[in-house]
Amino acid sequence: MRKLTILCFSLLFSVAGFSQNKKWTLQECVQYALDNNITIKQAEVALLTTAIDKSDAEGAFVPSLNGRATVSENTGLSFNPVTNLPQTVTTLNATGGFNVGYTLFDGLRNIRQLQRADLAKVASEFNLAKAKDDISLFVANAFLDIILNKENLKTIKAQNDITIQQIEQTQELVDGGVLPEGDLLEIKATAASERQRIVAAENAVILSKISLAQLLAVENYQDFDVVDGDYSIFGEEIVNAPVESVIEGAKENRYEIKIAEQNLEIAKKNLQISKGARYPTLSAFFGYDTRFTTNDFIDIPFDTQIYNNDGINYGLSLNIPIINGFSVSNTIKRNKLNIENNEIAVKQAKLDLESTVYQAYTAVKAAKESYEAAKVALESQKLAYEYAKLRYDVGRTNAFDFSQSKLRYDNAQIELTRSKYDYIFRIKVLELYFGVPATELKF
């Protein structure tokens, strides 16, 4: 029993440790955001609401059926039909029945409302899909920001380790009279500056983790972390594609234009519905009624009264609009203006998408050039640093010049990392506009 208890506690703590130390992959972050992000959940609720609206529209084709029943009792003075004398009696009255109604024609508004509900449902689906794409891109950007900050921290720490080694080497040379004391102080100042940069880089990592955790709505963001790794560059072929093909792909696949076009169709349908209010409304109705009464004077059986006292009514009802305070005409005018606004919105959505895609295309081109330039610059700074180190080791250059060469090399490494992940993100943006689903983006 004791061994079993120890085993259970061991498993418990191992599971707790795994949960606490879990590192998230990019795919896990994206999927978690799609499942839990508040904006997406709101879009999902909006989509469910459109299903209810469609059910309302379908209900307009179903006849209405209403039943009613009334039971009352009254006590008062009444004349006895036998003795012809006044007498206080209690009378029980019960009435009941039902009515059926059905709209035969209402200017086709019920049909238009059902069509509008279908359009609204599709628009809501587009909104949900766009929200998922946007959130996926936000998550990817925040994730890459963490990786970038981690890589920067790693670079600064590695260079600081080298600086510490150089302090030890310089101390020996100073003690041996080869180098002046000022060189040692210069190297120590460089080390102190690097430690400051390490603190700033550590804070950048923490803040970027918190930013992604909050985007994912992860409560325990203090322990939140992502999987480390050197992320590769995928999808470079889109950089070489003509910008016109990327723009056409965006028009076919992006949801901004589809949403605007769907809203325009909804506006047109609203106009048709408002015009239907000008037409007469024809309805059919059927009703059934019966009643039952009993007191000291009336003793007719219940079923007999129900049968003898029943009655039905049925017919057609025609409602013709004549004067309605200009409400119908004004509603039609508003809907016409709404169509014009939505037509403008469609044109604007197309222009905005073209501009956005062109900017994204230009940005990815610039990011590629920046990345290529950063690789060349790093190689040059590396050679310059190695040459400066050799000269410093043999006393041919001072500590200040050497520290400046090392700083330029450090900055070149950081710039290469920054330009790499910026290039990766710019490619993903362009792929998303081109029509690659957010869940299929490769990193």
- Length of the chain, in residues: 443
Query: Half-sphere exposure of 50 toward its Cβ, with a 13 Å CA cutoff?
Result: 20
Q: Give CATH for domain 23-62+107-279+327-440.
A: 1.20.1600.10
pLDDT at 17: 37
Ranges of H-type helices in 238-318? 243-253, 255-276, 302-308
Q: How many helices (H) and strands (E) does the chain have?
A: 10, 4
What are the pLDDT digits (tens) for 244-288? 888 888 888 889 999 999 999 999 999 999 999 999 999 999 999
pLDDT number for residue 366: 93
pLDDT at 338: 96
The domain limits of the chain are 23-62+107-279+327-440, 68-105+282-320
Pairing label, strands 86-105, 311-319: unpaired
The answer to whether the CB of 73 falls within 8 A of the CB of 81 is no
Helix (H) or strand (E) holding 155: helix 109-175
CB-CB contact of 399 with 182 (8 Å):
yes
Contact in structure between 98 and 39 (CB atoms under 8 Å): no
pLDDT at residue 176, rounded to an integer? 78
Residue type, 172: E
pLDDT in tens, 200-224: 999 999 999 999 988 888 877 778 9
CA 419 to chain centre: 28
CA atoms of 51 and 44, how far apart (whole Å): 11
Hey, CA dihedral for 271, 273, 274, 280, is it positive or negative? positive
Cβ–Cβ < 8 Å for 285, 307: no
Checking DSSP bridges between strand 64-79 and strand 311-319, what pairing results, if any? unpaired
Please state, in angstroms and rounded to a whole number, the distance separating the CA atoms of residues 103 and 117.
19
What one-letter code names the amino acid at 298? Answer: I
Q: Please tell me the predicted confidence (pLDDT) of residue 326.
A: 85
Give the whole-angstrom CA distance, residue 56 versus residue 117.
Answer: 9
- N-term to C-term CA, the chain: 50
Of all helices (H) and strands (E), which one includes residue 105? strand 86-105
- Global pTM exceeds 0.95: no
Kindly report the CA angle at 252 between 246 and 257, in degrees rounded to 5? 105
Q: Which positions of the chain have pLDDT values less than 50?
A: 1-20
Residues 6+ apart with CB under 8 A from 49: 124
